[in-house]
Amino acid sequence: MSRTVIHGGLVITASDEIHADVLVEGGRVAALAAHGTAAAGSWTADRSIDATGKYVIPGGVDAHTHMEMPFGGTSAADTFETGTRAAAWGGTTTIIDFAVQSVGGSLRGGLDAWYAKADGNCAVDYAFHMILADVNESSLKEMDLLVSEGVTSFKLFMAYPGVFYSDDGQILRAMQRAGGNGGLIMMHAENGIAIDVLVEQALAAGRTDPRYHGDVRKVALEAEATHRAVQLARVAGAPLYVVHVSADEAVAEIAAARHKGLPVFGETCPQYLFLSTDNLAEPGFEGAKYVCSTPLRPREHQEALWRGLRNDELQVVSTDHCPFCFSGQKELGRGDFSKIPNGLPGVENRMDLLHQAVVEGHISRRRWIDIACAAPARMFGLYPKKGTIAPGADADIVVYDPHAEQVISARTHHMNVDYSAYEGKHLTGRVETVLSRGVPVIDRHTYVGRAGHGAYLPRGTCQFTR
């Protein structure tokens, strides 16, 4: 059994910071011991990694990605191969992607199609949520089967009428089913019916530029849908996870629900923490690079998101990584913002951007690891296999240099997309080495992984509700 020792670093988890050496044996963490102790000195290993002056942190868990996702007549530009490789470069060792039910199709059919896309192609471990695009008697029954095979979370859309949209009755039925089988409902909370009216009116008035995408997707329509989702979950007796929360009023709805003791959870994404409607309004057609839904908000909303993350009103930061190239994909929406494919690249940048938030004083180091590793693992039934460094956990470990400087650029990133949403941004902190189940994937800034190393992860149910 191969043995690795990572010595000299500061081990940071969601709960502790300890100056300790870490022994990895056969793909798992075998032991931790304080630097210089007899226990640490007695370890023999095949490989030794010097982490002096560095952080030793759990591999990131990105609970919201869309590799090869079909949307608006095109497909997200990262495959499972390129997307998971980029994830590894950025210190993320687990992704949870979304399998999609087609309208009129079964959950089984959608899930099997996504198993086939990912199988043998991933550089790091992966799991699936299921998008319910067609809630009916048979898909409701299938939810039970999926939970029992380890696909324990289901995404519903109050947005995108005619595509993924579910009405309140369908949402209630799916929530009732999840309340009974242990599944977790994930909600895209925006009032899509009202938004579509505003889209039509904006286009008719000649307001076709990317910035109007942010304009029509009103804060009030995110807050209203969030409120409605909370009430429906309450009636159904089911827990609720609201994805990509972007507006201060939506954070307030989640906070109010949590203060009542309801099992309601919130996720936000780096783009809402670091970008704003200023980007959507960039001249020419540049704003298209920042079109995603929920949309970027005015800068003033960011403080509510940071506060929510500090106060545990929001628990998770995922990327909603759904990259479309500017050339040929985002350009589909020239002259009509509603035809711009929705989504941003980010799977490679999340751990670094959140470390920058530590540097800037928004969150503590342990909260960084909580929102990026431990809480998403717990939320989606992967803890403590993923999300921490403790005996028995998978040895998904990142050696992180907190002092290294870097500048984000599309010229140097590894995502299969021709622009970066954070082009030119200076960051302090950089991933140095990444292990996935004890196997090096990034070795001192060199990719040494391979497609097919990443394994599929069946998941348990949400660990915040049991």
What residues line the site for Zn ion (CB under 5 A)?
320
329 or 436: CB nearest Zn ion: 329
Min dist CB 372 to Zn ion, Å, is: 17
Residue 171, C-beta contacts closer than 8 angstroms, at least 6 positions apart: 135, 156, 158, 185, 187, 229, 232
DSSP character at residue 328: T
Is-contact 171 229, C-beta < 8 A? yes
160 or 422: CB nearest Zn ion: 160
320 or 396: CB nearest Zn ion: 320
Omega of the bond leading into 44 within 30 degrees of 0 (cis)? no
Distance CA 239, CA 283 (A): 42
Q: Ramachandran region of residue 108, left (φ > 0), alpha (ψ -120 to 50) or beta?
A: alpha
Distance CA 36, CA 158 (A): 56
Min dist CB 61 to Zn ion, Å, is: 16
The angle subtended at Cα 364 by Cα 363 and Cα 370, nearest 5°, is 90
> In Å, how far from its chain's centre is CA 319?
4
224 or 320: CB nearest Zn ion: 320
Residue nearest to Zn ion (CB): 320
Min dist CB 53 to Zn ion, Å, is: 37
81 or 320: CB nearest Zn ion: 320
160 or 274: CB nearest Zn ion: 160
Min dist CB 79 to Zn ion, Å, is: 17
> In Å, how far from its chain's centre is CA 396?
17
- Please provide the DSSP assignment of 146-200 as one string: HHHHT--EEEEESS-TTTTB--HHHHHHHHHHHHHHT-EEEEE---HHHHHHHHH
Min dist CB 64 to Zn ion, Å, is: 6
Burial string for 293-325 (b: 16+ CB within 10 Å, else e) reads bbbbbeeebbebbbebbeeebbbbbbbbbbbbb
Min dist CB 269 to Zn ion, Å, is: 9
Distance CA 108, CA 145 (A): 9
Min dist CB 62 to Zn ion, Å, is: 11
125 or 320: CB nearest Zn ion: 320
Residue 257 φ/ψ, nearest 5 degrees: -65, -45
100 or 442: CB nearest Zn ion: 100
271 or 388: CB nearest Zn ion: 271
Min dist CB 325 to Zn ion, Å, is: 18
Min dist CB 97 to Zn ion, Å, is: 10
